[in-house]
Amino acid sequence: MNISLKGAIFSTVGRFNLPKVQGFIRWNSTMKSQQPTLFSEVASLSSTFKNSLSRAGFEKMTPVQQRVLNEVFPNEENAVVQAKTGTGKTLAFLLVAFKDVLKGKPRLNSSKIHSVILSPTRELALQIFEEARKLTYGTGIRVSYAIGGNSKMREENAIRRGNANLLIATPGRLEDHLQNPRILESLSTDSFILDEADRLMDMGFAESILNIHEAVTTTKTRKLCFSATMPPKVSNVFRGILGTDFKLINCLDPNEPPTHERVPQFVIETKLDKVFSSSLSLLQQLTSSNPSSRIIVFLPTISMVDFVGGVLENHLKIPCFILHSGLTTAQRRSITESFRKCQSGILFATDVVARGMDFPNITQVVQITGPSNTDDYIHRIGRTGRAGKTGEAYLILLEQEKPFLNSIKHLPLKRATIEPLSDQALSTLRSDIEKSSKFSRTNALKTLYGSKPHVFSGSSQRRATGKNIHESAIALFSLHDVPGLMEELIYKSRGRGSPKGFRGSQLKYPSSSSSSFQRRPRSLPSRGRYQQSRR
């Protein structure tokens, strides 16, 4: 593989420390040595689920599963579990949910929902659903989900007809359903579980979660919160949900360096008009050196994912997949499963898969252009080097994005160069770009501008060179023949709207380049208020 390193430009300094969480009644960060390590040894786990776990190939517990099943599972305690993704926490909280559903077997014949799991994204909710469905086969437990992008009426009918004892939901969609008193009446929640709680907070769901909690839980409901980090905004929500009497189980190994400190990372600087050729050259070299490569490629917007993935897949010899929030739930589910099962492949995606999603054996993560912040960079590279496996991370950075390197100078990042494409390969790539629809090229360009205002904004010091930046951007997409487009984009990137008298193209701007959005929380009826209204 012809990727040359120019020596480390950054070195690791210190270790990432989680903020201290104040106000916890009990801290329990050490595992008792006498705890069983096999699922078959857990006395409080029913034979039904021991058999299900055995059929699914689960025998030995991970440390997270060991802690949860021995310290939380047998009791009715509320708990916060601090654990990273990829540590087996999904199976751990599912077994707790199953136990709460099965407290009384006659209840399986009722139409009530006895456990609710909240997940930050549709992809993660579907991943949890698939895991739950496999484990509940033959148990009588009915599992369903409520997520955006799916038929709301179909979900509502499934809930009202009693097709769910366990409901896995995203906060926004569950809020929608809880506006219907009949749905609220279907809930008899014995356990309320938050997965990826820190990401739920990052996405602006804090108040929504508190409202949902008030609406669907009682004082008898067991509450579990799983989170990788404990920033103050997360601990504040935990206190609102759990009060002060709960157990904190810390499953982080203080001696294990975080993924972003141990995964080899490389930066490749490129000119704006060479982004596609540099990306293709890198991917070709990675896949040719390892035919079993499993790569995730992150791009800043949905339109960029569609365009870049669609063009580059014609030049790569392994299966390519495209995943973002603009696809239907069925499409996303199918693509996720296909990529998860393939022996080699490349997934072009937005940040919709940057956190929580578990794709096994990812060999490399490639970021085409810089992320919007350091956290996004860290979460993206966290998709590789998981579960004891090795991995690599590559960042293809625009010249105008060099200041971003200052924010990650504490990471083990090295400069790298790649062999340029041959003249013939470059000509073929340019031809494929020109053959793609002008609509897709224009939308990709517009969303690229919207996602990187720091690159394209025209400060007074940079206006002299600003036109060259915009010309390079338009040339990148072979759009030099679009009348007035450059003037429109330059004005918009400077916050001026469109030039006076200029209508611009008739193409619509995509609503967002992000895979998630913040919902304005709505006031939901609490269980007590609803019961009073029924009287």
Position 247 pLDDT exceeds 70: yes
**Tokens, residue 167:** 């409901």
Domains and CATH numbers, the chain: 3-11+258-426 (3.40.50.300), 26-256 (3.40.50.300)
CB neighbourhood size of 414 (10 A): 15
The per-residue pLDDT for 150 is 83
Provide mean pLDDT across the span 200-207: 87
The more confidently predicted of residues 365 and 493 is: 365
Q: Which of 152-156, 426-430, 517-521 has the lowest mean pLDDT?
A: 517-521
Order of all β-strands in the sheet with 187-194: 26-28, 247-250, 79-82, 222-227, 187-194, 113-118, 166-169, 143-146
What confidence tens digit (pLDDT) does each residue in 60-94 have? Answer: 999 999 999 988 888 878 999 998 877 889 999 99
Q: pLDDT digit string (tens) for 469-527?
A: 878 888 888 886 554 555 665 555 554 444 443 333 333 333 333 333 344 445 565 55
pLDDT on residue 519: 42
Q: Is the pLDDT of residue 10 over 80?
A: no
Taking 90 as the threshold, does the pLDDT of residue 368 lie above it?
yes
d(CA 74, CA 77): 9
Is pTM, for the whole model, over 0.75?
Answer: no
Tokens for 145? 């989900």
Of these ranges, 21-25, 29-33, 454-458, the one predicted with the greatest mean pLDDT is 454-458
- Mark the binding-site residues for ATP, compressed into ranges: 83-90
143 beta partners: 166
Confidence of residue 325 (pLDDT cuts 50, 70, 90): confident
CA angle (379 as vertex; 373, 381 as ends), nearest 5:
105
Size (the chain), residues: 535
Answer yes or no: is pLDDT of 13 > 80. Answer: no
Once rounded to an integer, what is the mean pLDDT over residues 342-351?
95
Q: What's the N-to-C CA distance of the chain in angstroms?
A: 73
Binding-site annotation, residues? 83-90
Place of tokens 């430009």: 9
pLDDT in tens, 175-185: 999 998 888 88
The secondary element (H helix, E strand) that includes residue 127 is: helix 122-135
522 or 150, higher pLDDT: 150
Q: State residue 300's pLDDT score.
A: 94
Q: Which residues pair with 192 in a beta bridge?
A: 116, 223
% of the chain exceeding 70 in pLDDT: 79
Q: What is the pLDDT of residue 105?
A: 52
